[in-house]
């Protein structure tokens, strides 16, 4: 398998690449991760079952779109495929774990990425995944419809199959036009899964975002997620707001947008996320 991956890398870069060293990298939630190098060049590889190749394809295309925006550093994807029953994705290796204070630059770089828009509306070129859950992205004209159908209703449907009980879900879906009234965001290129585990700093002190669930959506979804499990440092928000100020009403929409991730967490992990989601729904309907 590793020889085939090395050949794929050689074919893509046009330079001979033979693996000299391979070591596993910890910290991922879903895939097995490795660094491979030939003494001169290093690559980051993730592996999963062959059936998961579409997930890697979507990740590579999402990374490409963010990379091409030239706004914020993401690993440059190289290739993906299947071999011997495994799916793989290959991307640029980044020396992470820098200690520089990169939160300010991260805020302004994310704001710059959020200025990138799409004339096709809200959505993306294909379904991707949020955690291990499919995330549908059919192009949709309005944010209200996209968020209601492709985000909330989709997760409620999956949660229902898992036995989740959200007694006020229909009430919430009906209240969305009010909750989003007078909010008309432009479609923005978003990371889609921006918790602290997906933000890092290179050894040179450059901020990086990893492992995206890319689409064109309301930029506030990324800000909201940075606040879901404890906030990023204040320098991040100061720089973001200086570059691209948030609009009034964000405090309420933040709850609405994080509800998507909390229901998804119920779908992935079960447990107390159901009660947390119900508390958020109550808050929104108050």
**Residue 164 within binding range of ligand ADP, rule CB under 6 A:** no
218/240 Cα distance (integer angstroms): 15
| Residue placing its CB nearer to ligand ADP in the complex, 44 or 143 | 44
**Residue 96 within binding range of ligand ADP, rule CB under 6 A:** yes
Catalytic residue among 119, 193, 218, 282: 193
Region of 26-34, 161-169, 170-178, 245-253 interacting with ligand ADP (CB under 6 A): 26-34
Q: Residue 251 CB, nearest distance to ligand ADP (Å)?
A: 29
Please state the separation of Cα 235 from the chain's center in Å.
21
Q: Are the CB atoms for 57 and 80 separated by under 8 Å? A: yes
**Residue 93 within binding range of ligand ADP, rule CB under 6 A:** yes
**Burial level of 219, CB count in 10 A (0-12/13-18/19+)?**
buried
Residues 6+ apart with CB under 8 A from 269: none
- Which pairs count as long-range contacts for 269-276, CB under 8 Å and 24+ apart, including other chains? 270/162, 274/159, 274/164, 274/165, 274/166
Residue 240 exposure: Cα atoms within 13 Å on the Cβ side:
22
193 is catalytic: yes
**Residue 25 within binding range of ligand ADP, rule CB under 6 A:** yes
Q: Residue 147 CB, nearest distance to ligand ADP (Å)?
A: 24
Binding residue for ligand ADP (CB under 6 A) from 5, 8, 31, 267?
31
Catalytically annotated residues: 193
User: Which residues bind to ligand ADP, rule: CB under 6 A?
Assistant: 25, 27-31, 33, 44, 46, 75, 91-94, 96, 197, 210-211
């Amino acid at each position: 398998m590793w020889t085939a991956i090395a050949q794929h890398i050689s074919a893509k870069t046009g330079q001979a690449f033979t693996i000299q060293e391979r070591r596993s990298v910890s910290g991922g939630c879903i895939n097995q991760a490795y660094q491979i190098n030939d003494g001169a060049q290093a690559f980051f590889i993730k592996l999963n079952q062959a059936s998961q190749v579409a997930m890697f394809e979507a990740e590579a295309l999402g990374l490409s779109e963010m990379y091409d925006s030239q706004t914020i550093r993401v690993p440059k994807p190289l290739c993906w495929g299947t071999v011997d029953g495994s799916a793989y994705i290959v991307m640029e290796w980044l020396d992470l774990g820098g200690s520089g204070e990169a939160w300010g630059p991260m805020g302004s770089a994310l704001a710059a990425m959020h200025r990138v828009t799409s004339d096709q509306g809200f959505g993306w070129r294909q379904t991707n995944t949020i955690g291990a859950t499919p995330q549908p992205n059919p192009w949709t004209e309005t944010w209200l419809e996209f968020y209601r159908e492709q985000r909330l209703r989709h997760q409620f449907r999956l949660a229902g199959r898992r036995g989740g009980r959200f007694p006020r879900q229909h009430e919430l879906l009906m209240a969305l036009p009010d909750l989003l009234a007078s909010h008309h965001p432009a479609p923005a290129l978003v990371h889609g899964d921006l918790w602290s585990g997906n933000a890092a700093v290179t050894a040179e002190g450059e901020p990086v975002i990893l492992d995206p669930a890319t689409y064109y959506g309301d930029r506030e979804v990324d800000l909201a997620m940075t606040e879901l499990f404890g906030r990023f440092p204040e320098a991040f928000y100061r720089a973001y707001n200086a570059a691209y100020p948030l609009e009034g009403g964000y405090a309420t929409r933040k709850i609405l947008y994080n509800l998507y991730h909390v229901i998804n967490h119920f779908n992935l992990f079960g447990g107390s996320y159901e009660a947390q989601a119900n508390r958020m729904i109550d808050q929104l309907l108050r």
